[in-house]
Amino acid sequence: MSKVKVFRLLGIICLLIFLAYFLMNSTNMINKSTDTFMVENGTLSYEEPAEGYIIRDEKLLKGNNYSNGLNQIVTDGSRVSKGEAVFRYYSNNEEEINKQLEDLDKKIDEALQNSQKGIIPIDITNLENEIENVLDNLYQANDTRVINEYKKKLNTYVVKKAEIAGEKSEAGSYIRTLIDQRKALSNQLTDNSETIVTQTPGIISYRVDGLEEVLILNNNDFSYLTTELLDGFRLNVGTSIPESKEAGKIVNNFECYIACPINTEKSEIVKVRR
């Protein structure tokens, strides 16, 4: 067989192999199902990891008697309205006055038990039922504001009970004297304490970090926010700020900014979107 015939035969064999391969792949393409999906309108974004400083509109609340320690009227994280009392500072001799009030309550209770002689007016019975209801609710309450309201009701009912019992008992004069002493001490306790009232609505927080008047939320000028300023605070991620015993603050929970120090080429062309 000549060389020409050999080349022709090899060419025919290669052509047949190519045709067989083409037909096999064409069959697979026809039999294979085609996935169909809708192209949705979207945006492309570029992200960079960074640590940020949350800047909120915060109003510091601090009175003159901050060294006495504060008693929360509204619990941390609760929303308050403008003109609402949020906390008060203890008076200078509050512990002593509370001790005197406890002693007077014991004396009033003893005087009532010794004077009634088994005769319990219907008014006192009703008040005792009210006192029991308040005590039941007081034991279940865990909100400082609710607890304070129950305590006020409880004191009112106890004093009212003593007044009624004093009028109907033989030792009425002595009981009325004790009641007058108790009222005077209660007024003294209230008059000597400083109550802090908020002038703006928002969320009350007692986690004061000292930056409330440094990091200021200002929509017009953020030029004071520099990398050196933020790094100078030396804040650690995840650090928990304890509740203050001297001050509180009102936080605007509707708006805040996050300051992120970023020094990359793409950050130079970032635009603020409102």
Q: What is the pLDDT of residues 33-77, one digit of tens each?
A: 556 667 678 777 777 787 778 888 889 999 998 888 898 888 888
d(CA 180, CA 187): 11
DSSP state of 255: E
Question: Given this model, what pLDDT does residue 204 score?
Answer: 94
| Beta strands 79-80; 85-89: pairing state | unpaired
DSSP state of 257: E
Question: Given this model, what pLDDT does residue 170 score?
Answer: 54
Q: Which helix (H) or strand (E) holds 202?
A: strand 202-205
Question: Given this model, what pLDDT does residue 81 score?
Answer: 92
Question: Given this model, what pLDDT does residue 247 score?
Answer: 94
Collect the ranges in the chain with pLDDT lower than 70: 1-7, 9-11, 18, 21-37, 39, 112-125, 127, 138-145, 147, 150, 161-172, 217-221, 237-238, 271-274
Confirm if 244 and 208 have CB atoms less than 8 A apart.
yes
DSSP state of 264: S
d(CA 116, CA 114): 6
Which tokens in the block code for residue 265? Answer: 């080429």
**Strand order, beta sheet including 248-259:** 53-61, 248-259, 202-205, 79-80
Buried residues in 179-216 as b, exposed as e (16+ CB within 10 A): bebbeebeeebeebbeebebeeebbbbbebbeebeebe
d(CA 123, CA 257): 59
d(CA 181, CA 179): 5
Question: Given this model, what pLDDT does residue 62 score?
Answer: 92
Partner residues linked to 87 by β-bridges: 72, 196
Partner residues linked to 60 by β-bridges: 249
Partner residues linked to 258 by β-bridges: 54
Question: Given this model, what pLDDT does residue 231 score?
Answer: 75
CA distances from 120 to 105, 123, 178, 201, 252 (A): 19, 8, 20, 48, 54
Helix (H/G/I), strand (E/B), else coil: 219: coil
pTM: 0.56
Q: What angle do CA 41, 42, 48 make, to 5 degrees?
A: 175
